Amino acid sequence: MYLPAVGSPADSGGTRPGTVEIRSSRPRAMTQNPSSPSLLRLAGLPYFLIAFVARLPFAMMVVGVLTIVVTARGSLSMGGLTSAAVGIGTALIGPFLGAAADRYGQRPVLAAAAVLNSAMLGIFALVVYSTMSEAFVMLTAFAIGATAPQVSPMSRSRLVTIIDDRMPEPQRPRTTSATMSYESAADEMVFVFGPFLVGALATLISPWAPIALASALTLLFVGAFALHPTGRHVSASRRADGTAPSRASELFWPVLLVVVVGIFGVGLFFGATLTALTSFMADRDAAEQAGLLYGVMGIGSAILALGVAWLPVRFTLHARWLLFAAILVGGSVLVISASTIPAMLVALAILGVGVGPTLVTLYSLGAARSPLGRSATVMSMLGAGVVVGQAAAAAITGELAERAGTGPALLMPLIASAIVLAAAVVNRLLTPMQR
């Protein structure tokens, strides 16, 4: 049995008597050559391009499903429920795909998911335009989410493996932080561009066009991501020292679960903010512009997420979580008080400062606390936490806005931010207990 580390050497101040540091799921390189190659050189530029495009279909799925259902079936309510079914499928099955990747390697899991998900997207389009019942439409949407390839968690796990295996010890903490910054920024950019692409294709061609494109991109780019040489590296090196993975029960350590709770709060924040903002703009007869305002937060969040890599190592992951969660709470207070669009834009810009670095910090903590041989599982758990939180908050906030109005709906981002901050406090309290 070993105790989880607290993020990086900066978190614990180095090894202390009585403290056992968590081991990676990969054998660690012992070389200390300061002229070792960068991660970009080790993975290769094509890897980052493929991984970026491969996560685009997932960002298109939920909005694409909503668009095609509303158009073909003429029901906004059904469209929302169908989109939620996609999220539920991803949240329930995603962690099991991560566990399968930890056990059998990423290549077979991703290749199978790419084929199945591409097929399910095509089947869904046929089902929606047919006379089949709403229940069958919902079931097919659930299957889309259940087979969705976990590109983002797999990419994080794959890159952390390369860092641990092929980079000197002194470079690992900062390189890991920079990697998580890039990955989070890539997710932010994809989730800003994905819905925009869906809207453009649906308007210029047809509502089925985004689903068709997502199907093609899944088959081609997720397939390429699965077959990339880095996938073979992960599968080959994962048990190179003959070490068996940790017990599944270690996934339920309090210091890991508190990170899952924190990222669930971030998912709640995303869903609540977008839905409340839509209600805010609908009161001004401009609901269609809600996505543009939301983009202010998304773009700022992506830029700040990249900036986390430049923060000093002395600024520990615990301190970052506390600080940026507090900024998130402050920005949410401004959202409640905003009565004009310029005031709302200021509040959203401040929220972008808080949410991007918070997401990077949580993924960095998750990577550091992953039990031996369970990194893909942990990353999938974190990804599922965001999806579940986003779907739940969107449903709750939408119902609240419809029944009670925009004012109460604007309270939801503050509640979500408070959950993130409370988890940060609990995380800080848990840490001394393991020393």
Least confident of 10-24, 109-123, 138-152, 338-352: 10-24
Residue 145, domain member (yes or no) = yes
Residue 30, domain member (yes or no) = no
Give the domain range for residue 98. Answer: 44-242
CATH code, 133: 1.20.1250.20
Whether the CB-CB separation of 7 and 174 falls below 8 Å is answered with no
Can you give the pLDDT at residue 413?
94
Burial tier of 339 (Cβ tally within 10 Å: 0-12, 13-18, 19+): exposed
Whether the CB-CB separation of 99 and 237 falls below 8 Å is answered with no
**Mean pLDDT, range 364-386, rounded to an integer:** 77
Asked whether residue 199 falls in the same domain as residue 248, the answer is no
Place 373 in a pLDDT band, splitting at 50, 70 and 90. Answer: low
Spatial distance between the Cα atoms of 82 and 76, rounded to a whole number of angstroms: 10
Whether the CB-CB separation of 67 and 207 falls below 8 Å is answered with yes
Please work out, in degrees rounded to the nearest 5, the angle formed at the alpha carbon of residue 291 by the alpha carbons of 306 and 137. 105
Spatial distance between the Cα atoms of 73 and 124, rounded to a whole number of angstroms: 13
Place 241 in a pLDDT band, splitting at 50, 70 and 90. Answer: very low
Domain boundary among 195, 223, 242: 242
Place 183 in a pLDDT band, splitting at 50, 70 and 90. Answer: confident
User: Which letter does DSSP use for residue 207 in this model?
Assistant: T
Q: Which amino acid is at 198?
A: V
Asked whether residue 206 falls in the same domain as residue 300, the answer is no
Residue 411, domain member (yes or no) = yes
Asked whether residue 184 falls in the same domain as residue 127, the answer is yes
User: Which letter does DSSP use for residue 145 in this model?
Assistant: H
Element (H, E) at 196: helix 172-204
Can you give the pLDDT at residue 229?
82
Place 77 in a pLDDT band, splitting at 50, 70 and 90. Answer: low
Residue 8, domain member (yes or no) = no
Can you give the pLDDT at residue 34?
47
Is the pTM value of this prediction over 0.85?
A: no
Residue 2: pLDDT over 50: no
pLDDT, tens digit, for every residue of 299-345? 777 777 777 767 787 888 889 999 999 999 999 999 999 989 999 99
Residue 65 main-chain phi, psi, to 5 deg: -65, -45
Residue 23, domain member (yes or no) = no
Determine how many CB atoms are found less than 10 A away from the CB of residue 203: 11
Determine how many CB atoms are found less than 10 A away from the CB of residue 108: 14
Residue 17, domain member (yes or no) = no
Q: Which residue has the higher pLDDT, 240 or 84?
A: 84
Can you give the pLDDT at residue 168?
76
Quote the tokens at residue 422.
Answer: 């409370």
Q: Which residue has the higher pLDDT, 187 or 112?
A: 112
Asked whether residue 338 falls in the same domain as residue 372, the answer is yes
Can you give the pLDDT at residue 328?
95
Asked whether residue 160 falls in the same domain as residue 279, the answer is no
Asked whether residue 309 falls in the same domain as residue 204, the answer is no
**Mean pLDDT, range 238-267, rounded to an integer:** 73
Per the prediction, the chain carries an average pLDDT of: 78
CA distances from 7 to 4, 41, 310, 413, 431 (A): 9, 25, 16, 27, 10
Residue 29, domain member (yes or no) = no
Asked whether residue 201 falls in the same domain as residue 293, the answer is no
User: Which letter does DSSP use for residue 13 in this model?
Assistant: T
**Mean pLDDT, range 343-352, rounded to an integer:** 92
Quote the tokens at residue 21.
Answer: 């540091």
Q: How many CA atoms lie within 13 A of 89 on its CB side?
A: 23
Place 190 in a pLDDT band, splitting at 50, 70 and 90. Answer: confident
Q: Name the percent of the chain lying above pLDDT 90.
A: 23
Which among 248, 351, 333, 341 has a CA at the least distance from the CA of 289?
A: 341
Whether the CB-CB separation of 2 and 24 falls below 8 Å is answered with no
Asked whether residue 252 falls in the same domain as residue 212, the answer is no
Quote the tokens at residue 346.
Answer: 């200021």
Asked whether residue 361 falls in the same domain as residue 392, the answer is yes
Determine how many CB atoms are found less than 10 A away from the CB of residue 78: 17
Which among 355, 210, 141, 149 has a CA at the least distance from the CA of 268?
A: 355
Domain boundary among 211, 242, 273: 242
Residue 381: pLDDT over 60: yes
Place 432 in a pLDDT band, splitting at 50, 70 and 90. Answer: low
Asked whether residue 367 falls in the same domain as residue 354, the answer is yes
The dihedral over CA atoms of 235, 156, 267, 220, expressed in degrees to the nearest 10, equals -70
Place 208 in a pLDDT band, splitting at 50, 70 and 90. Answer: confident
Residue 303, domain member (yes or no) = yes
Can you give the pLDDT at residue 36?
61
Can you give the pLDDT at residue 262?
95
**Mean pLDDT, range 393-408, rounded to an integer:** 83
**Mean pLDDT, range 270-276, rounded to an integer:** 83
pLDDT, tens digit, for every residue of 247-260? 656 677 888 899 99
Spatial distance between the Cα atoms of 86 and 194, rounded to a whole number of angstroms: 16
Contacts of 203 (CB under 8 A, 6+ apart): none
pLDDT, tens digit, for every residue of 89-101? 888 888 888 778 8
Domain boundary among 242, 273, 293: 242
**Mean pLDDT, range 385-412, rounded to an integer:** 83
Q: Which residue has the higher pLDDT, 224 or 313?
A: 224
Asked whether residue 223 falls in the same domain as residue 275, the answer is no
As for how many domains the chain has, the answer is 2
Quote the tokens at residue 133.
Answer: 């019942």
DSSP track, 130-187: SS--HHHHHHHHHHHHHT---HHHHHHHHHHHHHHHHS-GGGHHHHHHHHHHHHHHHH
**Mean pLDDT, range 29-57, rounded to an integer:** 73
Quote the tokens at residue 372.
Answer: 């031996």
Asked whether residue 274 falls in the same domain as residue 357, the answer is yes
